[in-house]
Amino acid sequence: FDRNWAEAERWFAQALAHPVVHWHVRVWYAWFCLQVMGRSEEARRHLEISLADNPLNHMVHWAQGAVMEALTSPHAAAQAYRRILEVEPGNWMATWAFALQQARQGEFQEARRLAVQALAAAPWAAYARGTMAGVLIHEGKAAEAQTLFAGQQSPVAKACAAIALSDADGAADALIEALEQDYVKSVVMLIGPHRPLLQPSRRWHELAAKLGLPGE
């Protein structure tokens, strides 16, 4: 995660030119490269190929859920996350991603149910803590939510809470703070699916510049 997107594309192009392309290559290219750069339609096409090869693989469905969020297709995103949980009900990361997606859609009752599960399975995870905090703030329990921002990766937790509340400026502020603390992977994971929320924020261009995104 040295933020050199041109070099990343060069390496992916070499891998994709091989006569046999492993499904993992397409997933990582779609998820952590194309959609982060705002090329989610290209990402979707690569994931369709991976899904044909791996219809039950949770990583492919998770990537599909993230990309469909970026394409503002909430029903398709939710369907992708549900498929993972049908096969792996204990997958806390899919549960967290689904909780955050449901909060973004204003489905806070379902978001709470999922966030509670994710937090119980991974109480150390900033993603789960932050999403639960966002649900609590929505419920008017800000003091309780504040306790979930303590600990490692605090800006990542704050970013998740802001995203859950559809607070674009708050999310951008927290993501910039996360980048300054070198949580690059976490920022990339959150920017990809939630780019439509973040782009209108007052600090989007600053955030994109710090991440080295081309054309921003």
pLDDT at position 93 is 95
In this prediction, residue 216 carries a pLDDT of 65
Q: What is the pLDDT of residue 151?
A: 79
If pLDDT is split at 50, 70 and 90, which confidence band does 214 have?
confident
Backbone torsions φ then ψ of 152, nearest 5 degrees? -65, 150
Residue 71 confidence class, pLDDT cut points 50, 70, 90: very high
* CATH 1.25.40.10-classified regions of the chain: 1-89
**pLDDT tens-digit series, residues 179-210:** 999 999 999 999 999 999 999 999 999 999 99
Single-letter amino acid code for the residue at 93: M
Per-residue pLDDT band for 152 (boundaries 50, 70, 90) equals confident
Mean pLDDT of the residues in the chain: 94
**Model confidence over 77-100: pLDDT tens digits?**
999 999 999 999 999 999 999 999
Q: What CA–CA distances, in Å, run from 112 to 95, 116, 138, 164? A: 11, 6, 10, 11
Share of the chain above pLDDT 70, in %: 99
Q: What are 45-50's contacts with CB under 8 Å, separation 24+?
A: 49/23, 50/23, 50/26
Residue given tokens 């990542």 in the structure block:
156
What single DSSP character describes residue 151? S
Query: Letter for the amino acid at 95?
Result: T
198: enclosing H helix or E strand: helix 184-198
Kindly report the pTM of this predicted structure: 0.94
The span from the CA of 85 to the CA of 44, in Å, is: 21
Q: Look at the block and give the residue holding tokens 């290559």.
A: 25
Ordered alpha helix ranges (H), 33-153: 40-53, 58-70, 74-87, 92-104, 108-121, 126-138, 142-146
Phi, psi of 35, rounded to the nearest 5 degrees: -70, -30
Domain at 1-89, CATH homologous superfamily: Tetratricopeptide repeat domain (1.25.40.10)
Q: CA 194 → CA 26, 123, 127, distances in Å?
A: 20, 23, 14
How far, in Å, are 21, 86, 104, 112 from residue 53 at the CA level?
11, 19, 30, 34
Task: Report, as an integer, the average pLDDT of 118-138.
Answer: 97
* pLDDT at res. 134: 98
pLDDT at 1 over 70: no
Structure confidence at residue 146 (pLDDT): 95
**pLDDT tens digits, one per residue of 5-36:** 999 999 999 999 999 988 889 999 999 999 99
Rama region for 208: left / alpha / beta (φ>0; ψ in -120 to 50; rest): alpha
**Residue 150 confidence (pLDDT):** 85
